[in-house]
């Protein structure tokens, strides 16, 4: 009979097997059949297919799955909020990703792979809460995302590191490490059993001088941080255009951009490097001594604009591979400027530094280098360059859903809107009501020791602990106006930390929350800030 631990192990492995097989099918249909046919087509076909594909994608997404695009953003959003990787949106988004990438859109297949893994994992976790223990949704969400990355890049360790690094800019997740390890390994083994284990990026082995490694690491690290910051802001701006301009305005601009870039790229290197994921073509170009510095710089700019064009039209895909391509071009440009021999060192260091800084996942980026290039000697310079790029990058990221670092319960509550941590359903007391009325109406309530006073706009707070002293001073017929405290209130949309500041400033343990019309909605107390409901802890209020 299986123990609970053995059952969990089988679930993690089974999840990886399903995702590995699914991603293998996705890659075979999208890249090996459809995109390969596009790349072999006449130039006129390559010019018209990407805009047509994105028109179809727009029709699918706008009608069935909202305006969001498939990328790692969905995983990160779901990690923090539980929404973003819903099962009902998976099929239309996968169809849309096929339309985007299969037609030649310059985004990566890792986006739909991560989404598929995260969605399958989250859905399974929601259905097996008793078997999986604490936070089953979150555990299998991480494991599923790790499996998706492990399969699409043939890189299991990269998948695990990316899944635990991606939710935060300056931290890692503590959830799902062991499940992610098992799921990623199973996914990788399943994937390569269908499509083989050939490394994603192949560079021939060469001997390197330690001086070359250090110079390359420092120089490219600084430049990669600047470039990654620019790419992150540019890609995020491109995504935002869908909310600023109508599709009919964005379409012709994007179509001209993609078509013009293709013609320029073909004239420079006779390769359709601006179509599709572009990583294999880019890898061959950065070790080709006949490709000039001018051509590399132009290709870098062209790839940036075609990826931005696809994102501006709601293209469904990831930006992991676009960052990889840009990093290789950056590294090769530096290599040509300094006159270093073409060993693949500079492009690979650029790849790691731009990818790690852009996604704020330095460990995953360096492991990606080790697993996908097969060049262990590149790891140390890649580590140095990625660390420097992280420092230069600042707080920018290609993912707008990332949080800076993990927070405790109280920290999270302090950053939430006041309306989510207040005590509501208290009603409002008239300033003309007697204190006896307050005692009759609220004396036996335990959810709040302070009640808003208004008529109907906010005027102050009546604290139940003040009633006895007020009645002794003013007599049994004293009214609320004589006992209430004239304390400031905060807007329901303000962060709860503002309530904490006001409490400290005015030496009180409660603050009223008001709506846009300055009418009381509820009260935030020290206990509600901490997520508690009893007022016993506030019995010492002055």
Q: What digits encode the pLDDT tens for the residues 484-507?
A: 898 999 998 888 888 888 888 888
Query: Is the CA virtual torsion 515, 516, 518, 519 positive or negative?
Result: negative
pLDDT of residue 275: 93
Supply the mean pLDDT for the chain: 85
pLDDT of residue 410: 63
Identify the band that residue 540 occupies on the pLDDT scale cut at 50, 70 and 90: very low
pLDDT of residue 417: 83
User: pLDDT tens for residues 46-59?
Assistant: 999 999 998 988 88
What are the structural domains, with CATH classification, of the chain? 4-393 (1.10.3080.10), 409-538 (3.10.580.10)
Residue 63 in this model has a pLDDT that exceeds 70 = no
* CA 509/CA 279 separation, integer angstroms: 58
Over range 341-347, report the average pLDDT.
84
> Which residue is listed with tokens 């013009």?
260
* CA 471/CA 438 separation, integer angstroms: 12
Pairwise pLDDT comparison (312 vs 443), residue with the higher score: 312
Q: Name the residue among 134, 136, 155 with its Cα closest to residue 146.
A: 155
Identify the band that residue 542 occupies on the pLDDT scale cut at 50, 70 and 90: very low
* CA 105/CA 275 separation, integer angstroms: 6
User: pLDDT tens for residues 252-263?
Assistant: 999 999 999 999
User: pLDDT tens for residues 370-380?
Assistant: 888 777 777 88
Q: What is the DSSP string of 52-67?
A: HHHHHHHHHHHHHT-S
pTM given for the model? 0.78
Over range 147-162, report the average pLDDT.
93
* CA 138/CA 157 separation, integer angstroms: 19
3-state secondary structure of 108: strand
Kindly list the distances between the CA atom of residue 488 and the CA atoms of 218, 499, 501, 526, in Å, as whole numbers in the listed order: 53, 10, 11, 16
Picking from 144-153, 240-249, 324-333, which range would have the lowest pLDDT averaged per residue? Answer: 240-249
pLDDT of residue 528: 82
Residue 134 in this model has a pLDDT that exceeds 80 = no
User: pLDDT tens for residues 111-120?
Assistant: 899 999 999 9
């Amino acid at each position: 009979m299986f123990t609970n631990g053995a059952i969990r192990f089988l679930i993690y492995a089974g999840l990886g097997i399903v995702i590995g097989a699914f991603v293998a099918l996705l890659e075979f249909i999208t890249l090996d059949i459809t995109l390969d046919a596009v790349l072999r087509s006449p130039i006129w076909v390559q010019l018209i297919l990407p805009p047509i594909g994105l028109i179809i994608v727009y029709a699918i997404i706008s009608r069935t799955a909202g305006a969001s695009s498939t990328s790692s953003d969905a995983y990160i959003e779901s990690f923090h909020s539980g929404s973003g990787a819903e099962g009902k949106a998976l099929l239309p988004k996968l169809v849309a990703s096929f339309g985007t990438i299969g037609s030649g859109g310059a985004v990566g297949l890792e986006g739909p792979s991560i989404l598929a893994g995260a969605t399958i994992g989250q859905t399974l976790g929601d259905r097996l809460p008793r078997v999986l223990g604490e936070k089953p949704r979150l555990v299998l969400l991480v494991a599923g995302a790790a499996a998706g990355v492990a399969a699409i890049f043939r890189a299991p360790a990269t998948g695990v590191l990316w899944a635990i690094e991606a939710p935060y800019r300056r931290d890692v997740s503590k959830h799902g490490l062991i499940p992610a390890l098992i799921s990623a390994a199973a996914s990788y083994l399943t994937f390569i059993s269908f499509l083989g284990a050939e490394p994603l990026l192949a560079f021939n082995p060469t001997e390197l001088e330690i001086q070359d490694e250090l110079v390359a690491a420092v120089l490219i690290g600084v430049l990669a941080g600047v470039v990654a910051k620019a790419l992150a802001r540019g890609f995020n701006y491109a995504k935002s255009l869908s909310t600023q301009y109508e599709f009919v305005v964005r379409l012709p601009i994007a179509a001209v951009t993609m078509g013009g870039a293709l013609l320029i790229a073909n004239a420079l290197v006779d390769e359709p490097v601006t179509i599709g994921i572009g990583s294999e073509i880019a890898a061959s170009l950065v070790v080709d001594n006949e490709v000039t510095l001018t051509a590399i710089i132009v290709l870098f700019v062209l790839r940036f604009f075609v990826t931005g064009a696809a994102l501006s039209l709601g293209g469904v895909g990831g930006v992991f591979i676009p960052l990889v391509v840009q990093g290789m071009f950056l590294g090769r440009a530096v290599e040509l400027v300094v006159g270093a021999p073409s060993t693949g060192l500079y492009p690979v260091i650029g790849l790691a530094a731009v990818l790690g800084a852009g996604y704020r996942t330095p460990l995953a980026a360096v492991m990606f280098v080790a697993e996908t290039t097969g060049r262990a000697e590149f790891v140390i310079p890649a580590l140095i360059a990625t660390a420097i790029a992280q420092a230069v990058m600042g707080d920018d990221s290609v993912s707008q859903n990332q949080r800076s670092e993990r927070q405790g319960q109280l920290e999270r509550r302090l950053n939430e809107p006041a309306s989510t941590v207040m005590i509501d359903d208290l009603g409002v007391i008239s300033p003309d009501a007697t204190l006896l009325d307050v005692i009759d109406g609220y004396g036996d309530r335990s959810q709040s020791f302070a009640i808003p006073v208004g008529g109907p706009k906010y005027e102050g707070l009546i604290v139940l602990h003040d009633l006895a002293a007020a009645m002794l001073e003013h007599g049994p017929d004293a009214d609320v106006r004589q006992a209430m405290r004239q304390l400031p209130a905060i807007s329901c949309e303000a962060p709860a930390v503002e309530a904490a500041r006001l409490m400290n400033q005015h030496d009180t343990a409660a603050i009223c929350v008001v709506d846009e019309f300055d009418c009381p909605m509820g009260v935030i107390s020290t206990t509600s800030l901490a997520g508690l409901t009893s007022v016993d802890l506030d019995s010492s209020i002055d």
